[in-house]
């Protein structure tokens, strides 16, 4: 019960990584405020645990972020942990085609939201013992090739924001760290591709298989793999860590599995082979 009676905010809690992390915090005794623009999804989550309260919050709307933090703090008398996690793929256009509006929208969703999450939580975190912020970055921040450019730049910004705010907030005893997930089996890919509902399960299975082939750890990444890392960073066990980031990626950034296992196709060949197999079987991919 590492988070007994702690007040914890999780954004993007209706699905994937946020959902798994909210459930883990709640299982360890926290009062969790599960915020998402998908309020129905957040409500379904709150039905799974008495420790979870659903809050409607679009993190692109700064007033809604402030309202989220103020409400949780009013209920609990302060905030102990914030997981700034909500996100999506953003604008996927290449750099010679992207419009300024799409660029700004991506930065607002993935970077400004984290800055404003910190901005409006911190006044309620000062003086709370063990106060901690965790931000979701990505392996896309390590180098090009893992995501569209706007997404990668925003996630690299999250890493630097994490370091800068870690130094600014140290005087209040607030730690700030980041997590960098690799390929995790959530809805983020199928949502970005606007995949029809009846194809989502097939597509997710293909991504899971392809990523497990590509990584040194030969299984797909799951939301709980990230939840465990976030809970560690937020806990007192990580009390000597601030401004740090944890890469949780099955090892894909140290080298793909096909580099040392000649039997294993690379990620993109594997995806193509599976798309071809699905097409041959009559399932559009």
Ligand X SMILES: NC(=O)c1ccc[n+]([C@@H]2O[C@H](COP(=O)([O-])OP(=O)(O)OC[C@H]3O[C@@H](n4cnc5c(N)ncnc54)[C@H](O)[C@@H]3O)[C@@H](O)[C@H]2O)c1
Residues that bind ligand X (CB under 6 A): 11-12, 14-18, 36-38, 41, 57-60, 85-88, 109, 136, 138, 181, 183-184, 186-188, 191
Q: Does the annotation count 151 as an active-site position?
A: yes
Nearer to ligand X, 51 or 87 (CB): 87
- Closest distance to ligand X from the beta carbon of 23 (Å): 13
CB 32 within 8 A of CB 107: no
- Which one, 55 or 174, has the nearer CB to ligand X? 55
> What gap in Å lies between CA 39 and CA 45, rounded to an integer?
10
Within a 10 A sphere around the Cβ of 168, how many other Cβ atoms? Answer: 13
Minimum Å gap between C-beta 41 and ligand X is 6
Nearer to ligand X, 16 or 78 (CB): 16
Q: To the nearest whole angstrom, how small is the minimum distance from the Cβ of residue 208 to ligand X?
A: 11
Question: Cβ(24)–Cβ(227) under 8 Å?
Answer: yes
| CA dist 259 → 144, 151, 178, 251, 253 (Å) | 18, 26, 28, 12, 12
- Measured from the CB of residue 172, what is the shortest distance to ligand X in angstroms? 25
Q: CA 2, 45, 113: angle at the middle one, nearest 5?
A: 80
Q: Which of 33, 120, 151, 172 is catalytic?
A: 151
Q: Which is nearer to ligand X, 19 or 128 (CB)?
A: 19
Question: Cβ neighbours of residue 128 under 8 Å, at least 6 residues apart?
Answer: 78, 79, 80, 173
For the bound state, the minimum distance from the C-beta of residue 280 to ligand X, rounded and expressed in Å, comes to 27
Task: Judge contact between 141 and 150, C-beta under 8 A.
Answer: no
Query: How far, in Å, CA of 49 to CA of 283, rounded?
Result: 37
Residue 12 CB, shortest distance to ligand X, in Å, is 3
Residue 140 or residue 169: which is nearer to ligand X going by CB?
A: 140
- Which is nearer to ligand X, 33 or 183 (by Cβ)? 183
Q: How far is it, in rounded angstroms, from Cα 146 to Cα 151?
A: 10
Annotated catalytic sites, by residue? 151
């Amino acid at each position: 019960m590492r988070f007994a009676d702690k007040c914890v905010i999780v954004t993007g809690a209706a699905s994937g990584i946020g959902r798994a992390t909210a459930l883990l915090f709640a299982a360890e005794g926290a009062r969790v405020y599960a915020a998402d623009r998908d309020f129905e999804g957040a409500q379904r989550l709150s039905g799974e645990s008495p420790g979870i309260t659903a809050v409607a919050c679009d993190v692109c709307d700064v007033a809604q972020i402030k309202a989220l933090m103020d409400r949780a703090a009013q209920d609990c008398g302060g905030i102990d942990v914030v997981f700034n996690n909500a996100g999506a793929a953003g604008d996927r256009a290449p750099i010679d085609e992207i419009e300024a509006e799409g660029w700004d929208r991506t930065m607002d969703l993935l970077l400004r939201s984290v800055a404003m999450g910190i901005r409006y939580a911190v006044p309620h975190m000062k003086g709370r013992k063990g106060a901690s912020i965790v931000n979701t970055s990505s392996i896309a921040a390590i180098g090009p090739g893992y995501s569209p450019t706007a997404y990668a730049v925003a996630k690299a910004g999250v890493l630097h924001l994490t370091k800068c705010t870690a130094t600014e907030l140290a005087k209040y005893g607030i730690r700030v760290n980041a997590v960098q997930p690799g390929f995790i089996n959530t809805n983020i890919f199928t949502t970005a591709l606007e995949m029809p509902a009846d194809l989502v399960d097939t597509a997710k299975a293909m991504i899971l298989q392809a990523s497990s082939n590509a990584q040194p750890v030969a299984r797909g990444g799951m939301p709980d793999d990230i939840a465990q890392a976030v809970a560690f960073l937020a806990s007192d066990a990580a009390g000597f860590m601030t401004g740090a980031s944890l890469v949780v990626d099955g090892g894909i950034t140290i080298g793909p599995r096909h580099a040392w296992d000649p039997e294993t196709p690379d990620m993109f060949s594997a995806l193509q082979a599976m798309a071809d197999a699905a097409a041959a079987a009559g399932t559009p991919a």
